[in-house]
Amino acid sequence: MRQNSAAWERAAEVHEAAQGWLRAGAIDEPTEHAIREAFPDPCITPSAVWRVLTACVVAAVIAFTFEAFSIAFRPSEIGHQVLLFLFAGASLASADLLEASPRFARRGAAGAASFLGVGFLLAGFGLFLVDTLHMRPDDAIDAILIASFLAWAAACRRWGSPLFAALSAVALFLFLGRLPYGRVLWALVGAALAGVAARRLDEASWAPSHRRAAAVLVVAGVVAAYAAVNVYSLEAHLLEDLGRIAARRIVASRGLIVLAALATAVVPLAVLASGARSRRTFLLDSGIVLLALSLVTLRHYVHIAPLWAMLTLSGAALVVLALAVERALRRAREGDIAGFTADPLFSDERRQHALQIVPVVAAFTSAAPGPAAEEKDFAGGGGKFGGGGAGEKF
Amino acid sequence: MNPDVVSAIARLRAENILSSGQAALFDRVARRQLVSVRLEIRVLLYVGVLLLTSGVGLLVTEHHREIGPWAIAGGIGLAAAACLVWVIRKAAPFSWGEVQSPNVAFDYVLLLGLLLFASDLAYVEVQFTVLGPNWAHHLLVVGAVYLVAAYVWDSRTVLGLALTTLAAWRGVSISLISGSLWAADAGRLRGSALTLGTLYVAAAALSVLLRRKVHFEEVFANTGLLVLFGALVSGVLDDGSTWGWWLAALLAVAGLVMWLSFHLGRSLYFAQAVVAGYIGLVRLFFEPFLYGRDGSSLPFLLAALLGLGVLALIFAAHRRMKER
């Protein structure tokens, strides 16, 4: 990443923190203005709406232009590869130019151009392997996954997008899953990746976006390691299915299954403990998700109670747990327990509320019955019922 | 720790921009010695409500014969009433302005109570056919109850549910990917969507003009515009002969929304109008080439050029718009 870009990102971090302080009423507007003056950020930083809109339109422009060239020149197999590489080069060069400009660096255009640039590069490389070198599909997939891992990692290093770090990690683990002892590699490399990336989370010499990419890699490593040791994944050969077409499935021994069952219980707790000790909420969130997956795994093997009872009880338990935690934190002498508080601190509550509307509406709104249905004679249970998540099937 | 913010706080304190009290608190947060888990508590509550309502739904589905319709209807009704009684007891006095939730659980207990009420109503309708052939109107009842609850207890989440439930009553699903606006009865659905979208946008305008729950404006307007543009775009993309009229209407509405949102400083409304207008114009470029034997690169080139024009419009609007 350019030194300038890293410096701009650091200033933006300070501005964002100052905006949070202002929103919470901890500082006044003149102080916030003084902070802006002390840490000048020459970049124009539009809101997320503008960035997403710009990224979508840039992606459409590049895609339409590529299609126009494809149709106009009707290239041969090799010509098609050349066109893909040309577009990759042009997109990546544009992304680099845009990133260097304070006017355009944070508008979303650079992100879209770099994403499509790497996409074109990988597509061109894939066609080159299959059409020109006539590589076997399995070998070509391996080569594309390695190239994908390297390309996304290089893009993350250059432009600092955490999304690219995630894509690089996905490519790496898909490749490892195809090797002999892929499951062992997932566990070992996952743990190693999480450990190495965790050491860089607070690295002052790294740009903020690189630190966020490190956080993504920690999560990717933890998830990979958990997927490798989860007992259901072991018994169902989920990772082995990623392997080559002719790969053998080895039935796990009883001892290994017991070990995996233990690991399925222990790993989420270890992640939760690590999150609580380091006070990193993304680790706590990952631990909660893994714990939920472990409980689902437990339910798969041990039918403690009917599904409806499990759902109702776990839902009630979650509500009670959340309320108990919130009440304990509220009643704590200094408003916090071991550094955790239920206060919003400097986060944007209004934005969180606005974002909350989308999943609630998506999850609980019923399907549209259609006006035609109103005219039908009623046949019990035959229509679509249910406002707000209520179903018609009773 | 956020090393950039930590070092910035030290410098701001040294330059007397921050007081020692401010710097101490900010430093504690930046070093992660004090961390908020409010979002995590909210997510746990939301997932808890989701699981609870799913569990109740499954119980009723699997055991309604053994339990009996009266017991089920009564049980769910009691649970809903318990939630709503708790909400009534905890709620702050009504105001036409924005009211803060008394605690973090309030919104979720309200949501749970209303969802259980909706489930109960649907169950009663299926079992006892209260509305008979007009069974679809139970969605109107649910939507209306949601709407009243949203105003009484000042919940934007419940308002969002109310608007989408009322849309569902008229046969319009907010999830355009489900393809409801391309269904066989598409013309009538589009008519409903246009009416609802216009009503919602009008409600947004009235909220601001009458200063009644002004903060509901964004929920009303965003849902309304989504439904409105969904109907217009689906009309433009339709194979029928009327797509040109739909395009003219789409461009007129998109232009009007862009102009209004620019002056109101609302970027999300502007973005919806830009995307909808762009899709409509792309359809126009492709129309002359749809039935040709060989593909032409011209519409793609025109679409790309139009995209560049749209980018210029976006940059210009962003530079001049005073976002709120």
Q: Are residues B204 and B292 in the same domain?
A: yes
Q: Predicted confidence band at A391 (pLDDT cuts at 50, 70, 90)? A: very low
Q: Give the residue from chain B lying closest to A16, CA to CA.
A: B5
Query: Is any Cβ of chain B less than 8 angstroms from the Cβ of A306?
Result: yes
DSSP 8-state assignment for residue A340: E
pLDDT of A387 above 80 = no
Q: Give the Å distances, CA to CA, from B214 to A141, A189, A355, B159.
A: 55, 53, 18, 13
Calculate what percentage of chain B has a pLDDT beyond 90: 63
B16 and B91 both lie in a single domain: no
Q: Is A379 on the interface with B (CB under 8 A)?
A: no
Q: Which residue among A27, A70, A360 places its CB closest to the CB of B157?
A: A360
Q: Phi first, then psi: what are they for B36, rounded to 5°? A: -85, 130
Give which of A104, A375, A394 to mutate to test B binding, by max B Cβ within 10 Å: A394
The yes-or-no verdict on residue A386 having pLDDT over 50 is no
Write out residues 174-213 of A within 8 Å (CB-CB) of B: 202-204, 208
Chosen for mutation from A50, A277, A355 (greatest number of chain B CBs closer than 10 Å) is A50
B50 touches chain A (CB under 8 A): yes
Q: What is the pLDDT of residue B290?
A: 73
The single residue listed with the structure tokens 């739909």 is B246
What is the total count of domains within chain B? 3
- The alpha-carbon gap from B5 to the nearest alpha carbon of chain A, in Å, equals 5
Contact status of A282 with chain B (Cβ, < 8 Å): no
Whole-model pTM? 0.87
| B295: contact with A, CB 8 A cutoff | yes
Contact status of A328 with chain B (Cβ, < 8 Å) = no
Would you call A3 an interface residue with chain B, using a CB distance cutoff of 8 Å?
no
Q: Residue B61: its pLDDT value, please? A: 83
Of B34, B62, B170, the CB nearest to A339: B34
Residue to test with chain A: of B15, B44, B131, most A Cβ within 10 A: B44
Question: Is B183 in CB contact (< 8 Å) with chain A?
Answer: yes
Closest C-alpha to B80, from B126, B49, B58: B49
Mark which residues 118-177 of B lie under 8 Å from A by CB. 118-123, 125-127, 129, 131-139, 141-143, 146, 156-157, 160-161, 164-165, 167-175
Q: Would you say residue A384 has pLDDT above 70? A: no
For B34, which of A39, A203, A336 is closest by C-beta distance? A336
Task: From chain B, pick out residues whose CB is under 8 angstroms from the CB of A65.
Answer: 300-301, 304
| Position B181 confidence tier, pLDDT thresholds 50, 70, 90 | low
Higher pLDDT, B112 or B179: B112
Q: Assign B324 a pLDDT band (cuts: 50, 70, 90).
A: low
- Distance (Å) from the alpha carbon of A235 to chain B's nearest alpha carbon: 27
Identify all chain B residues contacting A315, using CB atoms and an 8 Å cutoff.
Answer: 47-55
- ipTM (interface predicted TM): 0.88
Q: Which of B137, B271, B295 sits opposite A71 (nearest CB)?
A: B295
What would the pLDDT profile of A166-211 be if each residue is shown by its tens digit?
999 999 999 999 998 899 999 999 999 999 999 999 999 999 999 9
Per residue in B64-117, pLDDT (tens digit) is 788 888 888 899 999 999 999 999 999 999 999 999 888 888 988 999 999 999
Mean pLDDT over each residue of chain B, to the nearest integer: 89
Mutate to test the interface with A, among B270, B314, B321, B323 (most CBs of A within 10 A): B314
Let me know whether B24 and B51 are in one domain: no
pLDDT above 80 (res A364): no
Minimum mean pLDDT among A116-120, A228-232, B6-10, B133-137: which range? B133-137
pLDDT of A366 above 80: no
Looking at chain A from residue 69 to 108, which residues have their Cβ under 8 Å from any Cβ of chain B? 69-72, 107
Per-residue pLDDT, A379: 34
**Choice among A92-101, A232-241, B256-265 with the minimum mean pLDDT:** A232-241
Residue A378 confidence class, pLDDT cut points 50, 70, 90: very low
pLDDT band for position A274 (cuts 50, 70, 90): very high
* Long-range contacts, A371-374 (Cβ 8 Å, 24+): A371/B170, A371/B171, A371/B185, A371/B188, A371/B189, A371/B192, A372/B171, A372/B185, A372/B188, A373/B136, A373/B171, A374/B134, A374/B136, A374/B137
**For the residues B127-138, what does the mean pLDDT come to?**
80
Cα angle A109-A110-A115, degrees, rounded to a multiple of 5: 100
Cα–Cα distance between B323 and B270 in angstroms, integer? 11
Shared domain for B144 and B217, answered yes or no, is no
Does residue B267 sit in the same domain as residue B310?
Answer: yes
| Closest by Cα among A299, A279, A297 to A345 | A279
Q: How many CB pairs under 8 A join A and B?
A: 358
Is the pLDDT reported for residue A308 higher than 50?
Answer: yes
What's the pLDDT at A394? 40
Average pLDDT over residues B307-320: 94
What are the residues whose beta carbons fall under 8 Å from the beta carbon of A349, sequence distance 6 or more?
none
pLDDT of residue B128: 82
Q: Are residues B227 and B310 in the same domain?
A: yes
The predicted structure's pLDDT at residue B287: 85
Which H or E element spans position A341? strand A340-341
Both B184 and B297 in one domain: the answer is: yes
CA distance A44 to A54: 13
**Above pLDDT 70, what percent of chain A?**
87
Expressed as residue numbers, the domain containing B109 is 38-169
Comparing alpha-carbon positions, the chain A residue that sits nearest to B305 is A61
Record: contact B122-A391, CB cut-off 8 A: yes
The pLDDT of B149-171, averaged and rounded, is: 91
Note every long-range contact of B173-177, with CB atoms under 8 Å and residues 24 or more positions apart, other chains counting. Answer: B173/A365, B173/A367, B173/A368, B174/A361, B174/A365, B174/B223, B174/B226, B174/B227, B175/A362, B176/B230, B176/B234
Distance of CA A386 to the CA centre of its chain: 33
What residues in A contact B33, CB-CB < 8 Å?
A: 279, 339
Given this model, what pLDDT does residue B2 score?
87
What is the pLDDT averaged over residues B221-238?
92
CB < 8 Å from B in window 127-146 of A? none
Chain-chain contact of B22 with A27 (C-beta, under 8 angstroms): yes
